[in-house]
Amino acid sequence: MRAVVIGAGLSGLAAALRLRRLGLTVTVCDNGERPGGKMNRWRAADFCLDTGPTLLTMPEVLRRLFHDLGEPLEQHLEIRRLDPHAEYVFPDGSRLAVPASWEEWLKEIASFAPADVQGLRRLHEVGRRIYLVSRETFFRNHPLAASRSPSWSTLRQLPLRYAWGNYARVVARLLRNERLRRVYLRYPTYVGSSPYLTPATLLVIPFLEHHTGVWFVQGGMYRIVESLVGWAGHSGVQLRLGEQVVGIEHERARVRAVRLASGARLQTEVIVYTGDSASLPLLLGEPIRTRPATRSLSGLVVLLGFERKVAELHRHTVFFSEDYREEFEDLFSRRRFPRDPTVYVHAPAESECAPAGGQALYLMANAPADPAACWDEQSVREAVDRIFARLERSGLAGLKQRAAVAEVWHPGRMAARFLAPGGAIYGDNSHGWRRAFLRPPNRARWPRGLYCAGGSYHPGGGIPMVLLSAEIVARLVQQDFQA
Ligand SMILES: Cc1cc2nc3c(=O)[nH]c(=O)nc-3n(C[C@H](O)[C@H](O)[C@H](O)COP(=O)(O)OP(=O)(O)OC[C@H]3O[C@@H](n4cnc5c(N)ncnc54)[C@H](O)[C@@H]3O)c2cc1C
């Protein structure tokens, strides 16, 4: 039996390897010239940086992929737990580092904001309960696999006093300290959403950070892609790069073939689509229907290489804007790049990232994913300048002037490279509990033989979730075709 996987990002590579292991003949097509999709790498002169994900959570999901393929992860990759998880820099210059240990974090809060210790425990408990419910149901199953998933009405009865409220309001109710609130308000952006519009069930994200840790891959996340591509080569998965799929052919409600932009046609019984959910109708000959209000965030990433070290930084540092609520008004209501963006700075310490004595820095700010936006040279320059301005105000000055090499990924570039309307990183956002937890399913309702994985689909975006989607798809194919 044959399978064509559309997309050589993390979910596509994982799905391809799992299907190959089930005995299918697998071809992976990606419009990009390099595999990895959003998990990719930039090299310039002697500098090297990841361009997409920089932190890994729930490492057991990645471990399980390697285990299921037949070799332990440690044989291929070195992954390390990070402590502290991150440092937060507030507009007044004060700083707060979040230690890896939950107990240490509580101790820190006992001296920093003693009135919030109890509230913090409650937030953690809500996250823990959501996690326990999700672990064996939501995270591991196709959303319509009713036999093992509790129904939504059951979930709504859970004794979770705060879980179904609005995320930001629950945080405000349980925490009094403004800076601590800020730290917790940032988590919904991990799934491209606003803390002011998501349900408090997303408290599972900070819970998971403390429960399973924040990890990184020694040498960069792209090592994961390199391992999987190497494995694909050994196991006979065919990788066709620079090949865009422009159509899915079906006959009597079953998939038959994919059509490539080059004019080639690949016959197949199984198709796994891993691109943006908004672009799938186009492949089926239907009109694209993207509503800007439902798109998740995009990002503006600035990659910089310096001949000399410019700053002593933790691996992950977040420089907060002056007015967080206003920033999200810009992002989601006004749909424009924030006047004052919060900036995440990733400063890898590995020697392969920069020449001796130098430094490589990755700066990222959230940006709106508006399919109608025009990211011309001037708007990109203005947005990048706002990132530098925020860093200067927070004490990290002179980066622009001192950079020897630079590269910018803006929403327009992401939209074109990943075929994702507006450059949205996670398909649709998680605003409202339906969009947060009823993401598009992994088995298309029509035509038969079409499956969907990746950040747009169930269970969601981010490294562990897209790997889980690939697991679910492989299981569905096995069930449906007795593969
Ligand atoms: C800047 C940035 C920072 C991030 N940070 C983190 C982080 O720290 N931690 C974390 O866990 N996650 C992070 N993420 C999210 C994470 O990278 C993604 O959720 C994950 O890599 C998505 O993998 P995927 O396989 O679903 O999709 P993708 O990586 O988008 O792969 C899909 C591929 O399919 C291709 N494709 C689409 N349509 C077609 C077609 N018709 N024909 C051929 N090819 C097609 C696309 O071009 C793409 O290459 C980040 C993402 C970005 C962009």
Structure tokens at 400: 């622009």
Q: Within this chain, do residues 106 and 205 fall inside the same structural domain, yes or no?
A: yes
Instruction: Looking at the structure, tell me whether residues 141 and 193 fall in a common domain.
Output: yes
- Pocket lined around ligand 1, Cβ cut-off 6 Å: 6-12, 29-32, 37-39, 52-55, 244-245, 274-275, 299, 301, 364, 418-419, 425, 454-455, 461-463, 466
Q: How far is the CA of 152 from the centre of ligand 1 (A)?
A: 29
The reply to whether 299 falls in a domain is: no
- Out of 38, 344, 362, mutate this one to test ligand 1's pocket (max ligand atoms within 8 Å of CB): namely 38
Residues 165 and 231 in one domain: no
- Going from the Cα of 372 to the center of ligand 1, the distance in angstroms, rounded, reads 21
Whether 114 and 196 map to the same domain: the answer is: yes
Domain boundary pick from 177, 210, 243: 210
Q: Which atom of ligand 1 is nearest to the CA of 38?
A: 29
Is 482 in a helix, a strand, or coil?
coil
pTM beyond 0.75: the answer is yes
Residue 44 lies in a domain: no
- Based on the structure, what is the number of domains in the chain? 2
Q: Are residues 204 and 236 in the same domain?
A: no
Nearest CA residue ID for atom 37, ligand 1: 275
How many C-beta neighbours within 10 Å does residue 54 have? 21
Task: Note every long-range contact of 223-229, with CB atoms under 8 Å and residues 24 or more positions apart, other chains counting.
Answer: 223/77, 224/10, 224/39, 224/62, 224/77, 225/10, 225/13, 225/35, 225/36, 225/39, 225/40, 227/66, 227/76, 227/77, 228/10, 228/13, 228/14, 228/17, 229/8, 229/13, 229/35
Is 143 inside a domain boundary? yes
Q: How many CB atoms lie within 10 A of CB 350?
A: 13
Q: Give a yes or no: residue 284 inside a domain.
A: yes
Residue 370 lies in a domain: no
Output the DSSP codes for 313-357. --SEEEE--S-HHHHHIIIIIS-S--SS--EEEE----GGGS-TT
For residue 153, report the distance from its CA to the centre of ligand 1, in Å: 32
Last-in-domain residue among 210, 236, 266: 210
Range(s) of the domain holding residue 285: 2-39+222-291+428-481
- CB atoms near residue 155 (< 10 Å): 20
Number of the ligand 1 atom closest to the C-alpha atom of 454:
26
Of the residues 274, 457, 468, which should be mutated to test ligand 1's pocket, given the most ligand atoms within 8 Å of the CB? 274
Query: What tokens does 141 get?
Result: 């199953």
Q: For residue 242, which of 420, 454, 26, 29 has the smallest C-alpha distance?
A: 29
Q: What is the pLDDT along the chain (483 residues), one digit of tens a residue?
A: 999 999 999 999 999 999 999 999 999 999 999 999 999 999 999 999 999 999 999 999 999 999 999 999 999 999 999 999 999 999 999 999 999 999 999 999 999 999 999 999 999 999 998 898 888 777 877 775 544 455 555 555 455 667 778 999 999 999 999 999 999 999 999 999 999 999 998 999 999 999 999 999 999 999 999 999 999 999 999 999 999 999 999 999 999 999 999 999 999 999 999 999 999 999 999 988 788 899 999 999 999 999 999 999 999 999 999 999 999 999 999 999 999 999 999 999 999 999 999 999 999 999 999 999 999 999 999 999 999 999 999 999 999 999 999 999 999 999 999 999 999 999 999 998 777 778 999 999 999 999 999 999 999 999 999 999 999 999 999 999 987
> Given 210, 245, 275, which residue is the final one in a domain?
210
Q: Are residues 196 and 234 in the same domain?
A: no
Would 232 be classed as within a structural domain? yes
Q: How far apart are CA 349 and CA 345, in angstroms?
A: 13
234 and 197 share a domain?
A: no
On whether residue 397 sits in a domain, the answer given is no
Give CA–CA dist 468/141, Å, rounded: 9
Residue 176 is assigned to a structural domain of this protein: yes
Distance 83 CA to ligand 1 centre (A): 26
Residue 367 — φ and ψ, nearest 5°?
-140, 155
Question: Ligand 1, atom 10: nearest CA belongs to which residue?
Answer: 462
